[in-house]
Amino acid sequence: MVYNIYCDESRQSKDRYMVLGGIIIPQHNIAEFNATMQNFRIEQNMHAELKWTKVSNQKVSEYKRFVDYFFALNNTDKLHFHSIVIDNHKVEHKRFSKGNKELGFYKFYYQLLLYSFGKIYCRNREDDRFIVILDYRNTTYSLNTLKVVLNRGMKKKFSNSTNPFVAIEPRDSKESEIIQINDIILGAIGFQKNGYHLLAHARQAKKDLANYIASEAGMDNLCKNSPWGKKRFTIWNFKLK
């Protein structure tokens, strides 16, 4: 099986909690997803890039419909979503990343990709492969280095020496429907985790959409860890050691 994993981050710097997350989809399901999204865009007359920051009271019903399409595929195991939440107040880049914030940032991507994707979806001694697509960001960090350390981690932690991570590459979110839905889900998690839904001036559309996503995911809210054994949609509040 060859999987694509589309990843993005939300609230990296200005808020207490940062969220990293990704959607994993077998390559043979990508065409169906893109066709579904094209139907959505035609039906809803939504042709611009879809982002959490653009959710408005005027367009909330259209964004809910976008979420419906995602969960229709999620609930039938055509794609899965996994995320990790980091408490920025507890991150010590000086101690653990030689003062290099970029290195520290990609260490968290390593945790997400290794434990939420590699461990779960790569069957030992099988020919499973991962192509990771990250939303483009300016960085001096080598994505090839991330690929190398992930494959080393698979071998060391899980005795898997097949080097399943074959590529990690950046992509502009404007070019990827999957990154756009990922952005909306991550935005909703970060919105609730950082307490914006409790503020009197918070946009009602974002409150409604975050609650809607939680409900569709079978959760009371997006702040806590997802229930044990949940496989299609997970939130992992990472505990720094």
Measured between alpha carbons, how far is residue 61 from residues 64, 67, 218 in Å? 5, 10, 20
- What's the rounded Cα separation, in Å, for the pair 234 and 21? 9
Q: Where are the domains of the chain?
A: 2-237
pLDDT of residue 95: 56
Q: Amino acid letter at 169?
A: E
CATH class of 2-237: alpha beta
DSSP β-ladder status, 2-10 and 17-26? antiparallel
Contact 20, 112 (CB under 8 A): yes
- What's the rounded Cα separation, in Å, for the pair 179 and 176? 5
pLDDT of residue 140: 78
> What is the CB-side half-sphere exposure of residue 210 using CA atoms within 13 A?
24
Burial class (CB in 10 A: 0-12, 13-18, 19+), 206: buried
pLDDT of residue 12: 64
Please report where in the chains the tokens 């999620």 appear, as a residue: 74
Those residues whose C-beta lies under 8 Å from the C-beta of residue 2, and which sit 6 or more positions away, are 26, 27, 128, 129, 130, 131
pLDDT of residue 94: 57
Count of all residues that appear for the chain in the document: 241
pLDDT of residue 136: 85
| Tens digits of pLDDT across the chain (241 residues) | 999 999 999 876 688 999 999 999 999 999 988 888 888 899 888 888 999 999 999 999 999 999 999 999 999 999 999 999 999 888 765 555 555 677 778 899 999 999 999 999 987 667 899 999 998 887 878 899 999 999 999 999 999 989 999 999 999 888 889 999 999 999 999 999 999 999 989 999 999 999 999 999 999 999 999 988 889 999 999 987 7
Beta bridge partners of 73: none
pTM: 0.92
pLDDT in tens, 30-68: 998 888 888 889 988 888 899 999 999 999 999 999 999
Taking the mean position of all CA atoms in its chain, how far away is CA 184? 10
pLDDT of residue 63: 94
* CB atoms inside a 10 Å sphere around CB 225: 13
